[in-house]
Amino acid sequence: GENVEQHPSTLSVQEGDSAVIKCTYSDSASNYFPWYKQELGKRPQLIIDIRSNVGEKKDQRIAVTLNKTAKHFSLHITETQPEDSAVYFCAASRNTGGFKTIFGAGTRLFVKA
Amino acid sequence: DTEVTQTPKHLVMGMTNKKSLKCEQHMGHRAMYWYKQKAKKPPELMFVYSYEKLSINESVPSRFSPECPNSSLLNLHLHALQPEDSALYLCASSSPGRSNEKLFFGSGTQLSVL
């Protein structure tokens, strides 16, 4: 069945360093790859996304890359700040009459001041 | 209005109770979703409604019964739940059009089954 693997499960970085989170998906029909940030006790919120016809997308300090052949995609956060501390979920989505979005297990990011 | 509103925020129920979770959005979104999230786990898809019709049911036990009365409302009816059903229940919606995969989540209902 569909599966999204995410690594690492926990990531601790110093403020100002970069953070990289990697995901692999199994469903070749997936064509949309969002990343969600969830702070403690809050709802998941979309931070960046990429479609399967694009290899890379950047939004200020956040970038996402996609290797469709290898079914890999990654989140890159540069110049990390303490407020970046949260759980980050990657996801893979496809349209089956309503979008089926499967989430990775999550990465708990700690940014130390 | 750019929010998905869920009520109640917290719910405690016994295993013999019947209760309902409610979700509302006024963004014109035509797909609505129920997700279940256990502590320190990712959201897990339960149901998808597209244009008020159930399009995806992820083999959810019948003690969970979804309902979409109209394009703005989504309910989840609960009956004879088990303690392991305790979790955060998240509603989400997505819009028609090119960016229709983007999920907008509500704040969730924290459910405890005693």
Average pLDDT (B86-94) is: 96
B49 touches chain A (CB under 8 A): yes
**How far away is chain A from the Cα of B29, in angstroms, using its nearest Cα?**
11
- State the pLDDT confidence band at B1, using cuts at 50, 70 and 90: low
- Residue-wise pLDDT tens digits, A6-40: 999 999 999 999 999 999 999 988 989 999 999 99
Q: What percent of chain A has pLDDT over 70?
A: 96
Note whether A106 contacts B42, CB cutoff 8 Å.
yes
d(CA B47, CA A13): 37
The per-residue pLDDT for A29 is 87
Using 50, 70 and 90 to split pLDDT, how confident is the model at A94?
confident
Contact A99 B40 (CB under 8 A): no
Residue of chain A with shortest Cα separation from B5: A43
Answer yes or no: do A103 and B43 touch at CB < 8 A: yes
Question: Which pLDDT score is estimated for B112?
Answer: 96
* Contact status of B18 with chain A (Cβ, < 8 Å): no
Does pLDDT of B99 surpass 60?
no
Checking if the pLDDT of A96 tops 80, the result is no
CB contact under 8 A, A46 and B103: yes
Residues in B closer than 8 angstroms to A36, CB to CB, are 103
A92 neighbors A4 (Cβ within 8 angstroms): yes
Residue A61 in this model has a pLDDT that exceeds 70: yes
pLDDT reported for residue A41: 86
CB contact under 8 A, A106 and B44: no
Q: Give me the torsion for CA of A93, A98, A103, A108, rounded to 10°.
A: 110
Average pLDDT of span B17-39: 94
> For chain A, how far is it from start to end, CA to CA, in angstroms?
41
Would you state the pLDDT for residue B96? 63
| CA gap A98, B50 in Å, rounded | 5
The token pair that represents A105 in the structure block: 């297990």
Please determine, for residue A97, whether its predicted confidence score (pLDDT) is greater than 80.
no
